[in-house]
Structure 1
Amino acid sequence: MKTLGAAALASVAGMAAAQASQCPREDALGTSRVLAVDPAAYPRVGLKSFPQTLPLVDHEVVLTFDDGPWPATTQKVLAALEHQCVHATFFMIGKPASEHPELVRRIAALGHTVGHHTWTHHNLKYLKPDAADGEIDKGIAAVETALHGIATSTPTTPFFRFPYFEMAPKTLEKLQSRGIAVFGADLWASDWNPMTPEQQLKLLTDRLNLAGKGIILLHDSRAQTAVMLPAFLRYLRDNHYRVVHLVPAADNPATVQTQ
């Protein structure tokens, strides 16, 4: 895949940012800006998997959460984000979304972006193409049903993340042809490994300080992450990081980027 060229740079106007809504708590981290992502310009992002990522400036981060919704932990994650007036993107697995539709709707009602993460978190790289497509479409349909009561494989938010970041070229190409952006990550907390919240916080902040910015991968299904998150958000605030909230380009027709 080619790196960002002049044509993609020109499309940044289509990825317009708008001022985030005002936060009632003056000492909160807050959401710095909203970035509308056009899958045509940014079909695959995240430097852990691809040569291209989103056009973030120094000290800007995007918070993303995988593998939910799980009531016991997702509710704590939502409370931490709400306390700091921060918006994130949740890449949901279809099966738990179908089991907890009220939580899916609450996440969206709080202003977060809802993306897709297959039906059961199978490793798609090792499935036959038709089976991989079925995992993707069933997952999308489950989340869309929870959100809107309509079982469609056309996602309202065309954002997808592969389980384990394992992907086959044919599946990648098909998602691009459908206008669905594939998200990797620029850094992560490795929260799939057992560790204390304190250890996880240090690992994540060390990696963030090296990277300086980026798309961050976390898991709202992990208890240690739910416990760690309030301290991490305070760290972002105290160290002058700014949170960028992602939305689909169609949801944000503005053409002037603002901070």
Structure 2
Amino acid sequence: MRLQKIAGKFVNLPVAALASLVWVTLAQAAECPRKGTLGTSRILRVDTARFPRIGLKNYPQTLPLKDHEVVLTFDDGPWPPTTPKVLATLAAQCVRATFFLIGKPTLEHPELARRIAAEGHTIGHHTWTHFSLMRMPPADAVEQIDHGISGVEMALHGVATTAPSTPFFRFPGFETTQATLDLLQSRGIVVFGTDLWAGDWNKMTPKQELRLLIDRLRVARKGIILLHDPKAQTAAMLPGFLRYLRDNGYHVVHVVPDTPGVDFDGAP
């Protein structure tokens, strides 16, 4: 048991129990029962000490992916009008992804956050309200991080702790400070950048987004891909992109923390 101070009070946090609860779900259904689907090729354990910051758009190193291997990540959810559509598309192709959730909407829609976890996806953290952490006082930036983590943990596990059961974090807009980077590294939390994106924060049609993403992937050939599940154009584009991956020999890798004592089906 670990004591955590939440809202001025100390509570007992069974960290190992929470981690086990999350990863029992992730270990299920390693093989897709439907033929002809893209599927999830393998699970990659991420060592937080070895990979404190990843994504070549932002940092010097990225995940050790092979040629034609991709990691799918989605930011800014959950969002009821579009996140279920993204989940349905991923389920249809037996693909598992990572969702970086914002704390406030997660507490507003806890059932949707729990659905994401129940369907085997990894859940990371994306602050409380998605404000830029480099444009606010340092104490407020820490509060954004902690409040966001505790909100997601409360929605998923009923415990408002600042110790994440999944130590993955992505900065809004990739806007960091050295102090916030050092803070997360000291807590053993991996900071995710990305290797490529579709730029879906810009207005475009699903067809335009698909073409842009394919063109960038043809150059990169592998990597962490950033998308946004609240974007309607991305939800509409995703089935075509997964078909492209399947038809062109790409393999989806599912990332999870390298949690001691916890096993994952399909891990290398």
Equivalent positions of 1:10-159 (< 5 A) are 21-159=30-168
Q: 1:252 to 1:76 in 2, by over 3 A?
A: farther
Q: Please, which of 241, 256, 260 is the counterpart of residue 247 of structure 1?
A: 256
Distance in 1 of aligned mates of 2:201 and 2:260: 32
Cα offset for 1:209?
Answer: 0.6
- Look up the SS of the partner of 2:89 in the other structure: helix
> In 1, are the aligned partners of 2:198 and 2:226 still within 8 Å (CA)?
yes
Equivalent positions of 1:92-241 (< 5 A) are 92-241=101-250
> In 2, are the aligned partners of 1:19 and 1:32 still within 8 Å (CA)?
no
- Look up the SS of the partner of 1:31 in the other structure: coil
Note the alpha carbon deviations across 1:9-67, whole angstroms, 9 max, x for none. xxxxxxxxx99711011100000000111111100000000010000000000000000
Identity of aligned residues (%): 67
Unmatched tracts of structure 1, length 5 or more: 1-17
CA RMSD, Structure 1 to Structure 2 (Å)? 1.8
> In 2, are the aligned partners of 1:36 and 1:252 still within 8 Å (CA)?
no
Q: 1:194 to 1:216 in 2, by over 3 A?
A: same
Q: Which of structure 1's runs of 4+ aligned residues deviate more than 4 A?
A: 251-255
Q: Which amino acid aligns with 1:119?
A: W
- Look up the SS of the partner of 2:259 in the other structure: helix
Note the alpha carbon deviations across 1:212-258, whole angstroms, 9 max, x for none. 00000000010000000000000000000000001111077459x96
- Look up the SS of the partner of 2:113 in the other structure: helix
**Alignment length, in residue pairs?**
242
Note the alpha carbon deviations across 1:144-201, whole angstroms, 9 max, x for none. 0000000000000000000000100011001000000000000000000000000000
Normalized against structure 1, the TM-score is what? 0.90
Distance in 2 of aligned mates of 1:51 and 1:228: 30
Choose 137-146 or 19-28, whichever is displaced more.
Answer: 19-28
- Look up the SS of the partner of 1:71 in the other structure: coil
Distance in 1 of aligned mates of 2:184 and 2:267: 30
Q: Which amino acid aligns with 1:147?
A: L
